[in-house]
Structure 1
């Protein structure tokens, strides 16, 4: 992947489309009424977004189609890895939190990393929608978009699935753990 140009080579594009198609076909319960050919056509027409899907894939997100916005025609991709993506763990919530740490700083923050990948953190609502598609984060947790009022007070929120329920928790935004990462969404 060429990060400077945010483009994939023709071979990388072909390989990614094959991975996405195989995942799409393996997990039809996530998108029963959708057809891969329409999604592939949309991806090929919005090639700049495919770079973000590659970044999601490379960091362990296993992106898959989670919905279709009929009004805009966009397909919505979520990270569908069983656990919070491995390549995005041990990060605090945002750049402000990262800067506030005096020692033992993580390498990155969820918000900054998502922005560099061209994706958005899932909201609590999106996270709960994801959990309707399967059981995710049964051993890990994922930062989600934090309401401004909570963030202004130094906090951030994250979710996970335990005891067959989805839980929303709070933590200091500067905290980070080996089992906490973030999940993203991308509209194409």
Structure 2
């Protein structure tokens, strides 16, 4: 857990350079968006920049995937080819973590997302991301689980195999080296 959600000037500059390079390299994800406008919004929202830093350092490779013009927000999402390395081997939520008797993971996907200031993707958001590229060909990602499934002890995750996006279920307390989660951040 981080003590401060403030980045140094150097950390901010380095992150903005990485985000700009990724932005320009992947214009198909955010047609019509202008980097100068995005940069201004990021510089005005240090807490959001900190969350993007956490996404980046855990292997998420965040990039803009949508622009909600009505709300005036850009939507960043983890665009790493596989589920972010620094966010794998976690069960779904705190309740599942507490229920494990042995071999508990360090944390849960929901706790980690909250600590980072991001949201876990819904199944619909995950499917939208998959329209922009091919993600999770070897890994899988927890997605926000509907309450009626979670109340029965389950949780859902998604991946892409055979050029198809699949949704599956598992016990919420399960965790695997190849399963993590993808996050979303509105700026």
Same fold (TM over 0.5): yes
Q: In the alignment, does 2:22 pair up with 1:19? A: no
Structure 2: 5+ residue runs without aligned partners? none
Q: Match of 1:61, SS?
A: coil
Equivalent-residue separation in structure 1 for 2:47 and 2:54 (angstroms): 12
Residue number in structure 1 paired with 2:145: 146
Aligned pair count reads: 187
Alignment map for 1:44-63 (pairs within 5 Å): 44-63=43-62
Residue number in structure 1 paired with 2:5: 6
Structure 1: 5+ residue runs without aligned partners? none
Equivalent-residue separation in structure 1 for 2:171 and 2:4 (angstroms): 35
Q: Match of 1:22, SS?
A: helix
Equivalent-residue separation in structure 1 for 2:162 and 2:102 (angstroms): 35
Q: Match of 1:87, SS?
A: helix
Equivalent-residue separation in structure 2 for 1:118 and 1:171 (angstroms): 25
Q: TM-score by structure 1 length?
A: 0.98
Deviating 4+ runs (over 3 angstroms): none
Equivalent-residue separation in structure 2 for 1:176 and 1:85 (angstroms): 14
Q: TM-score by structure 2 length?
A: 0.98
Equivalent-residue separation in structure 1 for 2:108 and 2:37 (angstroms): 34
Deviation at 1:33, TM superposition (A): 1.2
Deviation at 1:95, TM superposition (A): 0.4
Residue number in structure 2 paired with 1:112: 111
Equivalent-residue separation in structure 2 for 1:68 and 1:84 (angstroms): 23
Residue number in structure 2 paired with 1:159: 158
Equivalent-residue separation in structure 1 for 2:80 and 2:4 (angstroms): 27
Deviation at 1:4, TM superposition (A): 1.8
Deviation at 1:18, TM superposition (A): 0.1
Equivalent-residue separation in structure 2 for 1:149 and 1:8 (angstroms): 39
